[in-house]
Structure 1
């Protein structure tokens, strides 16, 4: 799901359609074209898609033998994925290097609060559901407020029902499904003290991710580009020792290398971490070339 631009600087998104159904040659050509056109590509993949999609993406990246494609699958519900992808599109207009921009996805994930109002939790797999809540989900008219990220929460909707929200100013994005959104807009939004509220369509994967079509999904997020940029720019940057790209965090999102640990050897022979599969291919080409 590609959300509409948040502001005039938000760059457009490219939606990869039917990655696991189209011929491999077509997907390969599409990713090759995007890489040639933009230099680097960050693929934000929802956890709701089938495992075949992720396998196909890894296959394409391997066949292209490139470390300019980053595959990012954050632990967020579908609407949260869409919000995070738009935030990265906002930041893409700034003077951030490809590695820092791609790494920013992991950082910004911590500032997203994603949840839903559900008519049933009987098939909810992504949030712990107690036996009492599971039994009550079969009662007609039952509704549940659920937060899946950053900390799982589940309450049965009633006069005293509350969900812990962000401790900083956010906007709330609401995607209405087959359940009225009155509790979300009338109770949750004021309790979270959101600074604004917007509505959008429900992502196609939401019903499968939440285990029911009777839902209204919501996501609290930081909308301002200046705030997003300040968050990312305030984090110390480092250079990946393997591919040389600038990153933030402890893992390069393009080549998957982690900083070498000279104090705690992993294989009993040296303090270097083992190279990635892409690194092995490069080493073989260097030796035989």
Structure 2
């Protein structure tokens, strides 16, 4: 799902549609065109995407033998992934190096809170569900407030229902499925002191991710591109020892290399273990 740009400084998204249905040659040609046009490609996709789509992405990257394609699958619900992808599009306009931009996704996941209001948790396997809560899910009219990231939370809806949110200024994005509930906008957003609230269409993978189509999904995020830029540029940088591009931390998202493990020097007076 590609969210609409918030300003003129947000780069447009490219949707890779029907990867599991189109001929392999078409997928290869499309990716090669993107590489020729932009130099590097960061593919952000959901864990709820069909297995055939994931296989096709890895096949395309392997056949093109390209270290300029980064496959990024954040451990977030679909709406959170859509928000994160838009944040990367905001940062792409700022001229950040490709390796740093690709690694920024992992950094920015710490600043999003993702959850949903569900009518049932019987098929929810992304958040721990107790036996008593599971049994209550069968009662007519039951609804549950869930936070999947950054820390799992699950409460049954009621007058005292409360979820812990971010302790910094954030915006909230809400996407309604087939559940009639205004609890997120009227109760949760004010309790979390949101700076504002926006709405979006429900991502296609949300029903599969949450285990039900009767839901209202929400996600909090930082919307200011300047704040995002400062967070990313303040992070420790290093140079990938394999492909030579700048990265955040030690892991390169493009070539997937990690720092080599060197033998530790033996200090004087000590013997090396056999």
TM-score w.r.t. length of structure 2: 0.95
The answer to whether residue 195 in structure 2 is matched with residue 195 in structure 1 is yes
Q: How far off its partner does 1:172 sit?
A: 0.3
Q: How far off its partner does 1:7 sit?
A: 1.4
Q: How far off its partner does 1:138 sit?
A: 0.5
Query: What is residue 161 of structure 1 aligned with on the other side?
Result: 161
Q: How far off its partner does 1:261 sit?
A: 2.0
Q: Distance in 2 between matches of 1:252 and 1:181?
A: 42
* Aligned ranges 1:206-285 → 2 under 5 Å: 206-263=206-263
Q: Distance in 2 between matches of 1:181 and 1:60?
A: 42
Q: Which runs of 4+ in 1 moved over 4 A?
A: none
Of 174-183 and 33-42, the range deviating more from structure 2: 174-183
Q: Distance in 1 between matches of 2:188 and 2:105?
A: 26
Q: How far off its partner does 1:263 sit?
A: 3.9
1:4-48 residue CA offsets vs partner (Å, 9 max, x unmatched) = 001110010000001111111000100010011000000001111
TM-score w.r.t. length of structure 1: 0.90
Structure 2 residues not aligned, in runs of 5+: 265-274
- Whether the 8 Å contact between 2:240 and 2:250 is mirrored in structure 1 is no
Query: What is residue 56 of structure 1 aligned with on the other side?
Result: 56
Query: What is residue 267 of structure 2 aligned with on the other side?
Result: none
1:142-183 residue CA offsets vs partner (Å, 9 max, x unmatched) = 000000111111000011111110111000000011112311
The answer to whether residue 101 in structure 2 is matched with residue 101 in structure 1 is yes
**Residue-pair matches, total:** 265
Query: What is residue 270 of structure 1 aligned with on the other side?
Result: none
Q: Distance in 1 between matches of 2:250 and 2:243?
A: 14
Q: Distance in 2 between matches of 1:202 and 1:135?
A: 27
Structure 1 residues not aligned, in runs of 5+: 265-289
Query: What is residue 67 of structure 2 aligned with on the other side?
Result: 67
Name the SS for the 1:241 alignment partner: coil
Name the SS for the 1:96 alignment partner: coil
Query: What is residue 81 of structure 1 aligned with on the other side?
Result: 81
Query: What is residue 46 of structure 1 aligned with on the other side?
Result: 46
Q: Distance in 1 between matches of 2:3 and 2:95?
A: 23
Q: Distance in 1 between matches of 2:49 and 2:90?
A: 24
Q: Distance in 2 between matches of 1:166 and 1:224?
A: 16
| CA RMSD across the alignment | 1.1
